[in-house]
Amino acid sequence: MQISRTRTCAGDPAPAFDLAANVLVANGFRLERRDAQSLVAVGRGMTGTRRNPLTGAGRIELTRSGRELRLDADLGGVRLLARFLIALPLALCVAFGAAWLISGAGNSPLPPQAALAVAPWLVLSPLMIVMMRRRTVRALEDLLASLAATAGGR
């Protein structure tokens, strides 16, 4: 999952890069490279849905080209959490099946409570993945808008 956004700014990008560095470092990102024209930050990833949505980006690259400020981001944090949410219903099925077999009930049908425990996750997981991606993209767009405003953008 990749996103790219561009915003026009009128002023000096130095304050924008300072702000970006401060915001990203405060949210657990490590600055990989920073100069007058670009900033690259790498994050640890999103570990839960209650974390700052910026952590859904695994790598953020901010560059200036003329009057344009460009943000390119890899949504590695969202991708990692999405894999977990996809694997969760499968893992629940395996766990309930193993518990059912170990309990010696292999000759009786699987209890319907097992299906009731897994069924909500078949709906919730895709919804949560979409929600996390939207929140992360919106947070990155808000960051870019704030950076452009700091640099004198319109």
Average of per-residue pLDDT across 94-105: 81
**Calpha distance 137→146 (Å, rounded):** 14
Is the confidence at residue 154, as pLDDT, over 60?
no
**pLDDT for res 29:** 94
Of 1-10, 21-30, 46-55, 107-116, the poorest mean pLDDT is in 107-116
Average of per-residue pLDDT across 80-96: 90
pLDDT tens string 46-62:
777 778 899 999 999 99
In contact, 2 and 72? CB cutoff 8 Å: yes
In contact, 147 and 89? CB cutoff 8 Å: no
pLDDT band, very low/low/confident/very high, at 106 (cuts 50, 70, 90): low
**pLDDT for res 136:** 95
Return the domain boundaries, the chain. Answer: 1-149
Check whether domain 1-149 has CATH 3.40.630.30, yes or no? no
Average of per-residue pLDDT across 99-127: 81
pTM, rounded to two decimals:
0.84
Do strands 68-74 and 30-34 pair parallel, antiparallel, or not at all (unpaired)?
Answer: unpaired
pLDDT band, very low/low/confident/very high, at 68 (cuts 50, 70, 90): confident
Helix (H, G, I), strand (E, B) or coil at 77: helix
Rounded to 5°, the CA angle 3-78-69 comes to 30
Strands across the sheet containing 38-42:
2-8, 68-74, 59-65, 38-42, 30-34
